[in-house]
Amino acid sequence: MSELRAAITGVQGYLPDYILTNAELEKMVDTNDEWIMSRTGIKERRILKGKGLGTSDMGAEAVTRLLTKKNISPSEIDLLICATVTPDHQFPATANIICDKAGLGEIPSFDVGAACSGFLYALTTGISFIESGRYQKVLVVGADKMSSIVDYTDRATCVLFGDGAAAVLLEGRTEYGIRDSILRSMGAGKQYLHQKAGGSVLPASKKTVEDRLHYIYQDGKNVFKFAVTKMADVAEEIMKKNQLTGDDVAWLVPHQANKRIIDATARRMGLPESQVMMNIHKYGNTTAATIPLCLWEWEKQLKKGDKIILAAFGGGFTWGAVYLEWAYED
C-alpha cells in the first residue's frame, strides 16, 4: 500500500473590501507611487475597517467559505491551526476564536507564530497530524490584520503591509500531496524586525504608547539582504534534495514581501515569471496569508500532480520551503 501523505484538498481566501492605494498613501506620508512600485511592486493593499473586527473575523470568514465550497460540515473538522502575528488578543489563541465564530465546536486549535513564514510552519505542523493518522481533516489558516500594528506615519513600513486571510484543508491522500518541508530560524534576526513593546519584556504602558513602540520596527535594508539570500537558498535546497530542476517545477509560490526578493528566488530556481504566483501589487504583504492567498487565486489553473514550491522568509528570522504535488483539479 502507498504511503499516506497530507494533501491540500481545498483553499479559500478572504480579503476585506477597503482598498488603500499608493495615491492615498501619498496623502498620508512623504512617498510616491513610483518609489513604492519600483522598490516593492505594491500598488494597493486591503484594510479591514470596522470597530471590533480583528484577525479572527477574516480567518473565520475564510474557513466558513471553504467549508461551504467543499460541502463539508463544521463537525467533520478535527483540528484548526492559525498562523498569525496579529492575534485578536495576547490570549486566548486566535485559532480558538476562529473555531467559535465558524461553529467548529470544541476541537483542538492553537496559534503558530513564525511571522511571514507562519503559514509554512503551521502547514508543516498540520502535515504531521495527518501523516501520523491522528486526524483526518485539518484546517490551516494564515491570517493577519497588519494594519493593527503598522505605523501610518512611518513611510518605510506603512507602504508594505495589508490585511487578509486564507485557509487550506489538509486530508490524507496516497497519490499526490505534500512531499517535503524545510524550516529554519535565527533569533538573532530579531534586531532587524520586531515589535518593541506589548510583550513580557516591555509590557504596554503610557510611555510605550507615547513612544510608538507597539508598531512594526523594521530595518528594511538588512532584512532585505537576509531575505533575498535565505529564501532563494532554501528554495534551491529543497529542489536539490528532491532531485528537481526548474523544468520539473510548475509553480513557485513565494511569500509576497517584495517583488525584487521574489524575482531573485525565481531566477535561482530557473523559473520564468509566468510560473511564479504573484499578487503583491494588489494586496501587499499580508504576512501569514500571502502564500494561501496565492494558492486560492491560482486554484483554477492548478492541475493534479503539478509540482509546486512554497517559500517564505520573515521575522524571527524564520524561513522555509515546502515541496508539494497538487492533489486536485477545481
Residues classed as catalytic: 116, 255, 285
Region of 290 please: left (phi>0), alpha (psi -120 to 50) or beta: alpha
Residue 247 CB, nearest distance to ligand UT7 (Å)? 28
Q: How many angstroms separate the CA atoms of 175 and 172, rounded?
A: 10
Pairing of strands 163-173, 5-14: antiparallel
Rule CB under 6 A: say whether 220 interacts with ligand UT7.
yes
**Cell numbers 532531485: residue:** 243
Between 30 and 210, name the residue whose CB sits nearer to ligand UT7. Answer: 30
Region of 269 please: left (phi>0), alpha (psi -120 to 50) or beta: alpha
Query: Which segment (58-66, 68-76, 86-94, 253-261) binds ligand UT7 by CB under 6 A?
Result: 253-261
Q: Binding residues for ligand UT7, how many (CB under 6 A)?
A: 19
Rule CB under 6 A: say whether 195 interacts with ligand UT7.
no
Using the rule CB under 6 A, which residue among 12, 22, 40, 286 binds ligand UT7? 40
Using the rule CB under 6 A, which residue among 9, 26, 33, 39 binds ligand UT7? 39
CB 29 within 8 A of CB 153: yes
CA pseudo-torsion sign 219, 114, 142, 55:
negative
Residue 123 CB, nearest distance to ligand UT7 (Å)? 17
Between 16 and 314, name the residue whose CB sits nearer to ligand UT7. Answer: 314
Rule CB under 6 A: say whether 229 interacts with ligand UT7.
no
Query: Which segment (62-70, 73-81, 220-228, 296-304) binds ligand UT7 by CB under 6 A?
Result: 220-228
End-to-end CA gap in the chain: 27
Residue 237 CB, nearest distance to ligand UT7 (Å)? 19
Rule CB under 6 A: say whether 227 interacts with ligand UT7.
yes
How many CA atoms within 13 Å lie on the side-chain side of 207? 2
Rule CB under 6 A: say whether 140 interacts with ligand UT7.
no
Residue 44 CB, nearest distance to ligand UT7 (Å)? 14
Distances (CA, A) of 12 to 85, 96, 132, 152: 20, 19, 25, 29
CB 2 within 8 A of CB 179: no
Helix (H, G, I), strand (E, B) or coil at 204: coil
Rule CB under 6 A: say whether 278 interacts with ligand UT7.
no
Query: Which segment (28-36, 78-86, 145-153, 171-179) binds ligand UT7 by CB under 6 A?
Result: 28-36
Region of 41 please: left (phi>0), alpha (psi -120 to 50) or beta: left
Task: Return residues touching ligand UT7 (CB under 6 A).
Answer: 31, 35-36, 39-40, 116, 155-156, 159, 220-221, 223-224, 227, 257-258, 261, 285, 314
